[in-house]
Structure 1
Amino acid sequence: MIRRSARPARPARTVVAAAAALAATSALTATAIEPASAHTPGHPAARHVLLLSVDGLHQSDLAWYIARHPHSALARLAGGGVEYTHARSTIPSDSFPGMVGQLTGGNPGTTGVYYDDGYDAALLPAGTTKCAGAERGAEVDLTEDLDKNKDSIDAGQGLTGLPGSILKMTGHAASLIDPTKLPVDPKSCAPVSPHAYLRVNTVFDVARKAGLRTAWSDKHVAYDILNGPSGNGIQDLFAPEINSTAIGYPAGDDWTKDNAATEQYDGYKVQAVLNEIDGYDHSGTHKVGTPAVFGMNFQSVSTAQKLPASDGLAGGYKAKGVPGPLLEKNLAFVDREVGAFVAELGKRHLDGSTTVVLSAKHGQSPTDPKALTRIDDGPLLDGLNAAWKKAHPGSGDLVAHAVDDDAMLIWLTDRSQAATDFAKAYLLAQSGTGNGIDGNAKLFTASGLNALYAGADAARYFHVKPGDSRVPDLFGITQYGVVYTGGKKKIAEHGGAHADDLDVPLVVSGAVIPHDVRVAAPVETTQIAPTILRLLGLDPRALDAVRAEHTPALPVR
């Protein structure tokens, strides 16, 4: 593999300073510009867009690393394009709504995807075979639980020689989903696949309709959701299971429990993308041409932020916003892999026709270790159920489903305003003892919540009508530093609405992009989707969510 030599990084220009120099190309403002229906004469479109998403990466992490490594691949990437210094991910800041947002242009209220493990009051539970008269309400699990075999990195394909043979894993990830684990449509009495669950189309859908090749690599076969409603948006979806047993590491541990294992896991996806740059499918065996839209998700930065320690290095942050040794090591790892991609693009003479987009599905909170307060949410939910039954003799549990990381999402069996108000009042009245970064006792109040939206207020928060089958009945924003976990093995999480959860990097660099531009105006990662289509000369309004939310493309010119 040929790597380019480092070039001195030039100081970034501000948007104001750059505007005059870019006037001949197009108007560049500090606010987003409306998507173009297609590229105009004199505005050549890119032929390829490589999207790289780094779970957990904050804009502050990128700035910190570049300041200390001005000749790094990340520094050259940012200096060779437009860096948006105030980009925000979706709320909730979870992997699924975050990635879906980047590739649809929509937020959860539009896409219908609130978390990787959600609930839909209109569907039937997995395994339902007699649908007539069945009680509605089902968990929608988009995690490793959908795999035919979640303990194997090939998700149950049955490959021999794993993990070394993992690149032989099929590019048709949906074939490795166990249909008996999917929620059921009460009308058809058929399982609802992830791609059919999505309410809007994706960038991949639009690209395929235009006759362009598509590929993607992510951490579960449930990322079939990115195929979009067509079910075939991604021609090559390589999705080795990250939560499977890590071969060669302590028994029972998955690829996220040891940071070296996570790097090894990410390395498989890196090789898949390098193969695609070279014009092959992810396995490197079939010549198919370099995709027009492709890319991958990195996981190793996220585990470096969440693990207290790994491989002899302390995880997380040394002080507010200051990466510790394990995280610094992983920033360097991502930098090397980004450099490998750029070098390979140059080697294949694709650097002049490829735009690289770097961002993150979500950040991670807290970046201040002293703020950490770990709270076991189990007793809180059990207490809520007990209080409801006491107040309503003969009733069952009030909580139908809940996911609590550093936010609180709860779906109730009784969705009335009276029930949601009851749950809100109970949770805000709870205090107790959690533990801090040192493991010592730490008091909390209001169940660790700073704000709690219930019933109609929760629906309004997500811009949907009350009674929407998917919207949480309660959405809680935690006090800064709160992480819901029953143990002491986690020092950060995501899903919430703090700056640490939301403030992610966003860099657009390469073909048809001006250099050394820094945009300080607020932008959202949902703007990536229309930007990708615009770069390829396609109509951003072909995206359902773009039309619904009027999502503008990023100011890249």
Structure 2
Amino acid sequence: MSSSPAVGLLAATPASAAPARPHQPHASHVLLISVDGMHQQDLDWYVGTHPHSTLARLAATGTTYRNAVTPFPSDSFPGILAQVTGGDPRTTGVYYDDTWNPSLLPAGTTHCAGVKPGAEVDYAEPADRDPSRLDAGQGLTGLPGSILSLTGSPEQLLDPAQLPVDPATCTPVYPHQYLKVNTVFEVARRHGLVTAWSDKHPAYDLLQGPSGTGIQDLFTPEINSVADTAGDDWTSVNRLTQQYDGYKVRAVLNEIDGYDHSRSVKLGTPAVFGMNFQTVSTAQKLPASDGQAGGYEADGRTPGPVLSSALDFVDSQLGRLTTELTRQHLADRTTIIVSAKHGQSPTAPAQLTRIDDGAIVDALNAAWNTAGHAGPLVAFAIDDDTVVMWLTDRSAAAATFARTFLLHHDGTGNDITGAPKPYVASGLTQVYAGAAAAALIGVRAGDERVPDLIGISQPGVVYTSKKSKIAEHGGDNPADRNVPIVVSGANAAAGHRVTRSVETTQIAPTILRLLGLNPDELDAVRIQHTPALPN
């Protein structure tokens, strides 16, 4: 194990000269779209009920992979890294956007000698210079309308004092330094190709890859900033989420036209570019928005009014992008890949059980103290619809203690209406602890980043102390992980449906193959032997 996490990870990307392309490219451009939260069943429903939609046309003129899964944990960071590295957490080293690392020092540490290792690694909005602002603290005037003037170098928007610290260098560890493997953006840049991406936090600097230079134009307005005079952020009202996503669509339209996201610098249309949509995810989570119900109807398959509107919005914006590709005479040279970082669970309203995970952690720590141990057992936990814990005591005995407690802890949560609803076994079906948790992920026991405990939730369980959401992601239930993959455009087989199981990790080598580049230039592809998508 490297004594310097940041320096050790930077060494993961080979520094050799870029190898020659193995064959002629099938596409000049790959536009990658992540519709966060979208399930395969959502795509099926939308195409079936909107046969003349953009999504229906992309599916009809392309290849649809009907049994695709995103990695576990099904969080946004592992989900997007799968698509652009070809790896899951066993190789990327990234489990969530907010985790714990026992080898790093706490954020804000400036004098490192004698400081006890162990730090939260929070690469979400708390890492911004000013998380309350859409520009994350850049200081733009005229927001939100001026947001297209946001820098394309989001590392400048991160507050170094909010980042974990490398004990060997006593310097902050930026998100891109934390990633263990390279990205498709870095491979493309090594071949002199243009790259761009748009996402929801400046901490998506992560996608730059260990080199820190993979994406020439990285547009990252802060989604959890204040959006209106009522104090809502952009995820609190789905209408606001659609407005927020619209800024990223404008950025991509500018990039299709050959400019950077601000339309002020001529770069050329990127070879690898794209964005994520958040509106479907928030529509699935919100109990209601603008007086309409969020989530799904009682059958668990039919989108309710807010979600239906969100899908309409995504489809219309995809139509804008495809129309602009045609207008720029790029349609026959561009492959569009539509997928999702993650799904969302549950879809059936009656299945929902909300559980206060903070109370469970408090009870576990209290039981640890009662057993004669000083201090808390849980160093850090992140629980959405799975339980992921790092312990202060990484021994097998401590892991077994935590596992036994969780499997025997019963209590009362609440249902979709807010009424009390009992739960058993902390809402879990299985708990992997210690070496078993490492084996589940596929890393060695004692790996510095692997959680000490991973709990697989019962269907319908969402961990929250509030009643403001009805679905979440992160877990291992089918609704968390079964996402669509549609490949349409240049070199895509029209109307082809692939029913064999595939993983979103296979998108990354597929992108490189489409561009005529060697997928083995990706570290994770070599390590995990990740194949390109079939057909």
Q: TM-score, normalised by structure 1?
A: 0.92
Match of 1:17 in 2: none
Question: Paired residue for 1:233?
Answer: 214
2:81 to 76, 89, 100: 100
Q: Does 1:164 align with 2:137?
A: no
Residue number among 397, 400, 403 corresponding to 1:418 in the alignment: 397
* DSSP 3-state at the match of 1:86: strand
Query: Over residues 485-535 of structure 1, what are the superposed CA-to-partner deviations in whole Å (9 max), with x where a residue is unaligned?
Result: 111111000000000000001001101112110000000001110000010
Moved more, 111-120 or 318-327: 318-327
Report the CA distance between 1:132 and its aligned residue. 2.2
2:159 maps to 1:178: yes
> Gaps spanning 5+ residues in structure 1: where?
1-35
1:518 aligns with 2:508: no
Residue of structure 2 aligned with 1:71, choices 52, 64, 73? 52
Alpha-carbon distance, 1:38 to partner: 4.8
Q: Which residue of structure 2 aligns with residue 339 of structure 1?
A: 319
Correspondence for 2:15: none
Q: Residue 550 of structure 1 aligns with which residue?
A: 529
Q: Which amino acid is the alignment partner of residue 503 of structure 1?
A: N
> Are the equivalent residues in 2 in contact too, given 1:37–1:541 (CA < 8 A)?
no
Instruction: Measure how far apart 1:250 and its partner are.
Output: 4.7
For the residues of structure 2 that align with 1:49 and 1:167, how far apart are their CA atoms?
A: 22
1:211 corresponds, among 192, 203, 222, to 192
2:34 and 2:99 mapped to 1: Cα distance? 22
User: 1:259 corresponds to which residue?
Assistant: 238
| SS of residue matched to 1:165 | helix
* Counterpart in the other structure of 1:385: 365
Cross-structure match for 1:364: 344
* 2-structure distance, mates of 1:99, 1:40: 27
Counting matched residue pairs gives 516
Aligned residue in 2 for 1:283: 262
Match of 2:10 in 1: none
> Does the 8 Å CA contact 1:37/1:540 hold for their aligned counterparts?
no
Matches within 5 A, 1:324-335: 324-335=304-315
Moved >3 Å (runs of 4+): 36-41
**1:281–1:288 CA contact under 8 A, matched in 2:** yes
- What is the rounded CA distance, in whole Å, between the counterparts of 2:326 and 2:454 in structure 1? 46
Q: Identify the match of residue 201 of structure 1 among 166, 171, 182.
A: 182
- Report the Cα distance in structure 1 between the residues aligned to 2:534 and 2:123, rounded to whole angstroms: 33
Mapped to 1, the partners of 2:243 and 2:410 lie a distance apart of 42
Q: Residues 221, 468 of structure 1: CA spacing in aligned structure 2 closer, same or farther, 3 A cutoff?
A: same
Tell me the secondary structure at the aligned position of residue 325 of structure 2: helix
- Structure 2 partner of 1:189: 170
CA distance in 2, matches of 1:475, 1:109: 14
Q: What code does the residue aligned with 2:273 have?
A: F
* Aligned equivalent of 1:485: 464
Residue 257 of structure 1: SS of its match in structure 2?
A: coil
Q: Distance in 2 between matches of 1:135 and 1:40?
A: 52
- Aligned-partner Cα distance in 1 for 2:521–2:427: 42
Residue aligned with 2:33, SS = strand
What is the one-letter code of the residue matched to 2:198?
S
State the secondary structure of the residue aligned to 1:326: helix
Residue 99 of structure 2 corresponds to: 118
Give the % identical residues. 63
Letter paired with 1:136:
P
Residues 273 and 282, structure 1, Cα contact 8 Å, conserved in 2: yes
Counterpart mapping for 1:290-329 below 5 A: 290-318=269-297, 319-329=299-309
2:385 corresponds to: 406
**CA distance in 1: counterparts of 2:267 and 2:180, whole angstroms:** 30
- Preserved CA contact (<8 Å) 1:39 1:45: no
2:421 & 2:86 partners in 1: Cα distance?
A: 40
1:122 positional shift: 1.1
> Which one of the candidate residues 352, 355, 359 is aligned to 1:375?
355
Match of 2:425 in 1: 446
Letter in 2 for 1:490: K
Aligned to 1:8: none
Q: Are 2:80 and 1:86 equivalent residues in the alignment?
A: no
* Per-residue Cα deviation, 1:155-203 (whole angstroms, up to 9, x for no partner): 0000000000000000011111101111111111111100000000001
The equivalent position to 1:532 in structure 2, one of 506, 511, 526, is 511
Matched with 1:19 is: none
Change (3 A) 1:337 1:84: same
- The question of whether the paired residues in 1 share the 8 Å contact of 2:23 and 2:517 is answered with no
**Aligned with 2:455 (options 476, 495, 501):** 476
Q: Which among 141, 150, 165 is matched to residue 131 of structure 2?
A: 150
Kindly provide the CA deviation profile for residues 96-152 of structure 1, in whole angstroms up to 9, marking residues without a partner as x: 110111110000111000001011111111111222232111111010011000000
2:11 aligns to what? none
AA aligned opposite 1:334: V
Q: Between 207-216 and 130-139, report the one with greater CA deviation.
A: 130-139
